[in-house]
Amino acid sequence: MRIEGDATTGYSVSGDLTYRTVPDAFEHQLQFASETRMNLQNVERIDSAGLAMLVEWVCAAQKQGKILVLEQIPDSLKSLIEVSGLTEVLTAKSE
């Protein structure tokens, strides 16, 4: 799993976002602009731990009065978001 970018240009996440990689992802101290974009196009696998990490990032942005917009969401993640009832929690855009 890799996270590249910054608050102003946006972040890009690639690789697996699973229970094995979430501890590494959690160590990334993301910064947020008023609206920060996160491209998930290159996420290969995601599980409930990865979904929880995304929720944590969205909540961290909200606590700062900012927005984290998820973009290029893989179909597997879209399904996981819907099944988990998190559609309203996650600001998601599929483009």
- How is domain 2-93 classified at the architecture level of CATH? 2-Layer Sandwich (3.30)
pLDDT of residue 26: 79
- Which of 21, 14, 13 minimizes the C-alpha distance to 47? 21
pLDDT, tens digit, 9 for 90 and up, residues 31-71: 999 999 999 999 999 999 999 999 999 999 999 999 999 99
pLDDT digits (tens, 9 = 90+) for 77-92: 888 899 999 988 886 5
CB atoms within 10 A of CB 16: 17
Work out the end-to-end distance of the chain between its first and last CA atoms, rounded to an integer number of angstroms: 22
Which of 3-7, 10-14, 27-31, 61-65 bottoms out in mean pLDDT, i.e. has the lowest?
A: 27-31
pTM of the entire predicted model: 0.88
